[in-house]
Amino acid sequence: MFVHYILTVSYIIFSIIAIWCTGLQKVQSEQNILHEKNVVAALHALDVSIINHDVKTHLSPIKMCTEMLESHIPGPLNEKQEKMVVTMRRCVEKLETLLNDISDMYKLESHSMHLEKTDLDVQDLMDGCTNLLRPFISEKQVELQIESGEHGKIYADGRRIGQVLVNLVKNAIDFVPESGGKITITVQKGQDCTMLFCVEDNGEGVKPEDLGKIFNKFYKGESKQARKYGGSGLGLGICKGIIQEHGGKIWLESRNPNGTLFKFTIPLISSQSI
């Protein structure tokens, strides 16, 4: 039974690869795009929503199979099989993240991202982010501190600002030490009627020569940790785009080799003044 599930998942994965290859071949033949850094730009010639739908359609059964296997519905698994299922689940999660990242970058570059702005309580935002981050924090046993003495409101899309915070913290989780990792989120009133959000970690930091590239599309860095955890290289670029769409700013202060400090601002604007 286990072998049957593995074969089914393998078939689906190859189907996904075939879909992507077909889509990219069409783009390359029409626009002669040969470098992966041009993939997002090339997707302007395709219907991104259709590609996302096609690939997610194939991802759904993989996700269902892994959930069934982890729940031992087909039967008990040995230790080796358990590790294989965990690997499958993580691959599905990475593919889902990649699809969402490509879609978000496309929307930002085409100025088609719809923001549902409301008067958002900062404390409610932080509470929601903490709940989302708890599984990732506990998995690596990282200490997460939230220092928010502010109870003001920002006029923003809570889901998108939460996405930025979660992305910054998840990046930090990858780079903090295996033992003694610490991440601190602080929120305070900034200058010029803004709310200042800070995400600080005690990881390896970013080299000074890389500071100007950190928000570039597909930038992944050359450190051992960056190679270990991979990623699409789109996350920080998406964070920058979301913050800019809110009229804010985002930047990085590296303390290499003693960690990084990301900061971003969101204007304190009431919906009544819009």
| The two structure tokens encoding residue 131 | 């709940």
- Name the residue among 56, 57, 60, 58 with its Cα closest to residue 68: 60
The predicted structure's pLDDT at residue 251: 94
Q: Residue 244 pLDDT > 90, yes or no?
A: yes
pTM of the entire predicted model: 0.74
Helix (H/G/I), strand (E/B), else coil: 71 = coil
User: Tokens representing 175?
Assistant: 């780079």
Distance (Å, whole) CA 200 – CA 175: 11
pLDDT bin (cut points 50, 70, 90) of residue 266 is very high
More confident residue, 111 or 13: 111
CATH number for the region 118-273 comes to 3.30.565.10
Q: According to the model, what pLDDT value does residue 232 have?
A: 72
Q: How many Cα atoms are found within 13 Å in the side-chain-facing hemisphere of 178?
A: 1
Inter-residue contact 38 to 91 (CB < 8 Å): no
Inter-residue contact 85 to 71 (CB < 8 Å): no
Q: In whole angstroms, what is the distance from residue 87 CA to residue 116 CA? A: 35
pLDDT digits (tens, 9 = 90+) for 111-137: 888 999 999 998 889 888 888 888 888
In whole angstroms, what is the distance from residue 239 CA to residue 127 CA?
A: 20
- Kindly provide the residue ranges of all beta strands, DSSP E only, lying in the chain, ordered along the sequence: 118-121, 143-148, 153-156, 182-189, 194-201, 250-254, 260-267
Q: Which of 200-204, 216-220, 261-265 has the highest mean pLDDT?
A: 261-265
At 22 the pLDDT is 56
pLDDT at 164: 96
DSSP 113: P
Beta strands in 27-181 (DSSP E): 118-121, 143-148, 153-156
Region(s) of the chain under CATH 3.30.565.10: 118-273
Residue 1 one-letter amino acid: M
Q: What is the structure's pLDDT at 271?
A: 44
7: its two tokens: 């074969």
Question: What is the structure's pLDDT at 242?
Answer: 96
Pick the closest to residue 75 from 129, 1, 152 (CA basis): 1
Q: What is the pLDDT of residue 167?
A: 93
Contact 148, 124 (CB under 8 A): no
